[in-house]
Amino acid sequence: MNFAVGLKPLLAEARSMESLEKQLICPICLEMFTKPVVILPCQHNLCRKCANDVFQASNPLWQSRGSGAGPSGGRFRCPSCRHEVVLDRHGVYGLQRNLLVENIIDIYKQESARPLHAKAEQQLMCEEHEDERINIYCLRCEAPTCSLCKVFGAHKDCEVAPLPAVYQRQKSELSDGIAMLVAGNDRIQAIITQMEEICRTIEENGRRQKQHVGLRFDSLCSILEERKKELLQSIAREQEAKVQRVRGLIRQYGDHLEASSKLVETAIQAMEEPQMAVYLQHSKELLKKITDMSKVSMSNRPEPGYESMDHFSINVDHVAEMLRTIDFQPGAGVGRALHGRGGIAAGMSTH
């Protein structure tokens, strides 16, 4: 059903209050900040309880306040800008309170207690029945409508429900979807961090093995130099292949994280829409996007031991006649296969 949105101008006070309220919403609980409010190094604000929830989720082994925590307080990422927040041993209790925001909240609550003259949703009128407000929702047509349209108009044979009930139900569904995406983003970030550590370990193991091989060959005569170069290149090829594969996965997860974060921002903006009918026009498509995003598989990652480079060990305790057949020792290590992918052949055959 088509309907006209005839909104009467709100008082300047009402506009100011609505604008202020948007600035006082916590990005975690999507409610007005609950005191105490803490300010992060990136200048974004969180309820201290919400900051603690995010911190505990990112640091499950961290001991709570007063239980003998060590000198390191752990870290987590700001949910608004993804900036990494490093905490001291006090955890979130070491973050500075934003007393200005807390005072603004007190003032806002005092001002909100005063009644405003007009509500925007009261001015949403039916296009076909100009004197009738949009107050029900057609479940079959999935569109807001008025009571006369149900009794005499195009929706007389349809099942309807009160507009506030449908509004609250779908808003609750969207809120649940946002929470699910936020939780999924935290898991993805943890996976990315883990794979970045794998890359660093692979590079460190590769450097260690190359140094070991180099020291071995430095003690040999010039006839070993060509063979030494071949073995070092073999290490470098596998190191590069492994790092490139893992970095490719990091980019894949990063792209998914960026798309998911943008979807979260879009959903949060939709949650701030004060008009129930306008909100309901877009909520179904948004919920479908959230559902599709949450179904993306994130199971492709390196298997345990993938970062190992121990299979590049050598033994130079051979006679001079055997120097030209030196190769890496078979079965010296694992870590050549990526979960769900074929292994990278890097071994050298004995002539």
One pLDDT digit (tens) per residue for the chain, 351 residues: 433 333 333 345 556 667 777 788 888 888 888 888 888 889 889 998 888 888 888 777 665 544 444 445 678 888 889 888 888 888 888 888 888 888 888 888 887 776 554 444 445 787 877 778 888 888 888 888 887 787 778 887 888 888 888 888 888 888 888 888 888 888 898 899 999 999 999 999 999 989 888 887 777 666 667 777 888 899 999 899 989 989 988 898 888 889 889 988 988 888 888 888 878 887 888 888 888 888 777 777 888 888 888 888 877 666 556 666 677 877 655 555 444 333 333 333 334
> DSSP string of 296-328?
S-----PPTTTT--GGG-----S-GGGGGG--P
Beta bridge partners of 5: 124
Express each pLDDT in 251-263 by its tens digit. 988 888 898 899 8
273, exposed or middle or buried, with CB in 10 Å at 0-12, 13-18, 19+? middle
| Mean pLDDT taken over the chain | 77
Domain 16-60+72-111 has CATH 3.30.40.10: yes
> Side chain identity at 183, as an amino acid letter?
A
Helices (H), the chain: 12-23, 48-58, 99-112, 147-151, 163-218, 225-271, 276-294
Tokens linked to 327: 């190769």
Q: Alpha-carbon distance 44 to 5, whole Å?
A: 35
Q: What is this structure's pTM?
A: 0.32
Omega of the bond leading into 36 within 30 degrees of 0 (cis) = yes
Q: Alpha-carbon distance 20 to 111, whole Å?
A: 11
How many CB atoms are located within 10 Å of the residue 156 CB? 11
Q: Alpha-carbon distance 88 to 69, whole Å?
A: 10
Express each pLDDT in 263-275 by its tens digit. 889 888 888 888 8
- Assess contact for 132 and 146: CB atoms under 8 A: yes
> DSSP string of 39-70?
E-TTS-EEEHHHHHHHHHHH-TTPPPTTS---
Residue 138: in which H helix or E strand, if any?
A: strand 136-138
